[in-house]
């Protein structure tokens, strides 16, 4: 989640829906039946699926739904335990062991604004103090988004909705990645110093961070795929995301997915449900599928 949020910037210029596109049809290269791919914003409500033209019709027509993860796997007790462990600092270490006094002052100021309490509160320190910087940033961004989005329900989000509906219809549920892979990608790949740097980008620029989250949400809910692409590119240019980080969290995963998708589509028509950031650009899934010989057409 956090990677997608921090890829957004203020330089978005909305074009009134001229590039409104989130759903694509995949055909050709011997496929017996059309498959589809839809871009999501991981914090979008389940109800937004009805706003994506053709998405529910695509869901009804396919044999399987494939997400980045199988959401039922995420909710298993053993997986939750592993994810919680990955989010924590080593035993005995707290966030204030990593930050300077000045950085802690900035962090506490941001937390007071978002949560109404900070690490001078013993209960807050006990609850959040052992989170590693990247995990703490995720928690704070989630809280900030909830604060600026009345009615937000983290239990009813769009990615899970497609899989729940597919399961209700008796369709197969597939995943492009394992939970273990995503843990390694999100928490194990960055040096701790870089995690601290990214946390401080968030807390030292609260207005910019807030507006960036809103800008990304607006881009998605406008279904403006070009605005989302501009957002991604601007993040790299400004240094919020390094080219190496973009390669790891997006481009290399796109290539891995496109290697898996042909076998899934050959077994049965599939609706792929992935973050919209993975659809854009020359190295996005849409273009990679085209380069692989498939016809990929926007569903209008």
Q: What are phi and psi of 29, to 5 degrees?
A: 50, 40
The more confidently predicted of residues 240 and 208 is 208
Could you tell me if residue 260 is inside a domain?
A: yes
- Phi, psi for residue 172 in degrees, rounded to 5: -70, 145
Asked if the structure places residue 238 within a domain, the reply is: yes
Residue 110 domain-assigned? no
74-125 tens-digit pLDDT: 877 778 888 889 999 999 999 999 999 999 999 999 999 999 999 999 999 9
Domain-located, residue 35: yes
Q: How confident is the model at residue 237, as a pLDDT?
A: 67
Taking 60 as the threshold, does the pLDDT of residue 13 lie above it? no
Please indicate, yes or no, if residue 289 is contained in any of the structural domains: yes
**Which residues does 206 contact at the CB level (< 8 Å), separation at least 6?**
110, 113
Which of 42, 36, 31 minimizes the C-alpha distance to 21? 36
Supply the range of the domain harboring residue 184. 2-88+154-194+208-298
Q: What is the mean pLDDT of the chain?
A: 88
pLDDT above 50: residue 179:
yes
| pLDDT, position 10 | 25
Average pLDDT of span 26-51 = 96
The answer to whether residue 134 sits within a structural domain is: no
> Does residue 94 lie in a domain region?
no
How many domains does the structure of the chain reveal? Answer: 1
Domain annotation covers residue 67: yes
Mind listing the pLDDT tens digit for each residue in 113-142? 999 999 999 999 999 999 999 999 999 999
Contact 25, 62 (CB under 8 A): no
Confidence bin at 239 (pLDDT 50/70/90): low
């Amino acid at each position: 989640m956090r990677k997608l949020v921090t890829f957004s910037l203020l330089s978005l210029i909305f074009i009134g829906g001229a590039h409104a596109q989130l759903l694509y049809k995949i055909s050709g290269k011997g496929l017996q039946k059309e498959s589809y791919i839809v871009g999501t914003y991981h914090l979008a409500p389940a109800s937004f699926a009805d706003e994506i033209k053709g998405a529910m019709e695509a869901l009804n027509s396919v044999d399987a739904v494939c997400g980045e993860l199988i959401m039922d796997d995420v909710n298993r007790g053993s997986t939750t335990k592993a994810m919680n462990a990955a989010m924590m600092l080593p035993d005995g270490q707290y966030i204030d062991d990593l930050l300077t006094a000045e950085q802690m002052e900035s962090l506490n100021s941001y937390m007071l604004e978002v949560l109404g309490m900070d690490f001078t509160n013993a209960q807050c320190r006990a609850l959040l103090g052992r989170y590693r910087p990247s995990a703490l940033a995720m928690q704070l961004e989630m809280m900030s988004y909830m604060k600026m989005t009345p009615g937000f329900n983290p239990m009813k989000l769009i990615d899970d909705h497609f899989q729940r509906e597919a399961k209700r219809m008796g369709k197969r549920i597939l995943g492009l990645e394992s939970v273990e892979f995503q843990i390694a990608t999100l928490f194990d790949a960055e040096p701790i110093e870089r995690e601290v740097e990214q946390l401080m980008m968030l807390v030292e620029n609260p207005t910019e961070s807030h507006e960036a989250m809103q800008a990304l949400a607006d881009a998605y809910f406008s279904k403006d795929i070009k605005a989302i692409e501009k957002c991604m590119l601007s993040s790299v240019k400004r240094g919020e995301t390094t080219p190496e980080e973009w390669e790891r969290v997006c481009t290399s995963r796109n290539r891995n997915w496109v290697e898996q998708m042909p076998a899934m589509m050959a077994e049965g028509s599939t609706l792929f449900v992935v973050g919209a950031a993975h659809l854009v650009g020359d190295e996005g899934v849409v273009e990679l599928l085209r380069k692989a010989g498939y016809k990929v057409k926007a569903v209008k």
